[in-house]
Amino acid sequence: MSDLANKAIRICRELALCTEEPGRTTRTFLSPPMHDVHRLLGEWMRQAGMEVSVDPAGNLRGVRLEKGASGKRLVIASHLDTVPDAGAFDGILGVVLGVALVEAMNGAGPTIEVIGFSEEEGVRFGIPFIGSRAVVGTLDEGVLTPAVLDAIRAFGSDPARLRAAHLSPDTTACIEFHIEQGPVLESLGLPLGIVDGIVGQSRLSLTFRGRANHAGTTPMLLRRDAVAAAAEWISHVEKVACSERGLVATIGSIVVEPNASNVISGLARISLDVRHACDETRHDTVAGMLAAAEQICGRRGITLEHQQRLDQPAVALDAGLREALSRSVEASGYPVHRMTSGAGHDAMILAAHVPTAMLFLRSPGGISHHPDEAVISADVEAAIQVGLELIRHV
């Protein structure tokens, strides 16, 4: 088994070389290096006895149809795209482990379909989950923009055939293996974690508009400094997030105009990302943060504009499948630990349409979305053992 775990790690590192940017791993939705990923993974799928195809949304799909198996189909899926300057395991490991499990089964067990989603991160067009939305049939006009349609055509697919990407009606369960992308499992000394649910997310953009003016001649009390107002509000956001258990809030992007050292800033455009497992708490928190921004801007003579970019509800994963996963972890000799995912995953898209579960693997250092992202061979071996045990009982 350890040989298979090491093989999975090696293949992930090989796939990391399929990139748009030499010297670092960047692979966005249906960019040219995705063809190389499909070729390399597709070859391994065929060696494992799978029928391989690429659906009209650019998802790589491998199916092992076992003789004498029931009509039920288990899907093992994750994504093949990356953020800029990524690590080798986010998303990709989940697809590689699916193929590893098919190889380990050696012709036994149920029908398994492994799906490598073409897009999850939302980097290329600012639209996440294109691949998984395609397989559950929820791609709408807001997703299928002219740019997205052009990218599908340029990759060699036909967007008019997107219905052919839908999950087989025989699909009874989905499982996603994924690195944790955080420090919890490592802090507990645990190799694996069972995901109970995925937090809801609010993403907003806020624009603070003041008045640009000379930095040397404008007295402090006569300024309408957009950055000063934004900075006061950012401090408030951090205090609120620290005071609410389970809440995280992030200001990830700040754009300042005119962005000159000797000019008072007339504009500050800021992103806000708020996440919590309870949607009511998340919504109330965001409303409070916006009210605070209005109060700060009113006192400082700043105008405020804000726009909702995303309101993703929290998702509870399937209770029955979670219990089956817990029993599989225990039967494989590992501690059972349940946790909430603070990051979004394809599993949250699938869960609304088919029973779905998710298994986290420990992230050394809690590092992800970074070239130093890593996994431990023994943890990968543990995930394979648990996966084989789960397949026997679903």
Nearest-angstrom CA–CA distance, 170 and 388: 20
Query: Residues of the chain with pLDDT > 90: what percent?
Result: 92
Cite the residue boundaries of each domain of the chain with CATH code 3.40.630.10.
2-199+314-391
Please tell me the predicted confidence (pLDDT) of residue 1.
Answer: 59
The pLDDT score that the predictor gives to residue 70 is: 65
Predicted local distance difference test score (pLDDT) of residue 109:
83
Q: What is the pLDDT of residue 44?
A: 97
pLDDT at 378: 98
Which of 9-13, 100-104, 122-126, 361-365 shows the lowest mean pLDDT across its residues? 122-126
Give the pLDDT score at 2.
Answer: 80
200-312 under CATH 3.30.70.1140, yes or no: no
Q: Please, which residues have CB within 8 angstroms of residue 132's CB and are 6 or more apart in sequence?
A: 77, 79, 117, 120, 346, 349, 350
| DSSP per-residue codes, 108-137 | -SSEEEEEEES-SS-TTTS---HHHHHHHT
User: Which pLDDT does position 312 carry in this prediction?
Assistant: 86
Distance CA 133, CA 152 (A): 14
Q: What's the confidence (pLDDT) of residue 350?
A: 97
Q: What is the pLDDT of residue 69?
A: 63
Give the DSSP letter string of 202-269: EEEEEEEE---EETTTS-GGG---HHHHHHHHHHHHHHHHHHSTT-EEE---EEEES--TTEE-SEEE
If we measure between CA atoms, which residue out of 222, 191, 223, 225 comes closest to residue 208?
A: 225
Global confidence as pTM: 0.88
| pLDDT tens digits, 106-147 | 877 889 999 999 999 999 998 899 999 999 999 988 899 999
Token couple for 261: 């050292």
Residue 65 reports pLDDT greater than 90: no
Task: Give residue-wise pLDDT tens across range 233-258.
Answer: 999 999 999 999 999 999 999 999 99
Q: Stretch 7-18: mean pLDDT, rounded?
A: 98
CATH 3.40.630.10 fits 2-199+314-391, yes or no: yes
Using CA atoms, how far residue 170 sits from 56, 90, 135, 318, in Å, is 20, 28, 13, 17
136-177 per-position pLDDT tens digit: 999 988 899 999 999 999 999 999 999 999 999 999 999 999
Domain with CATH 3.30.70.360 in the chain: 200-312
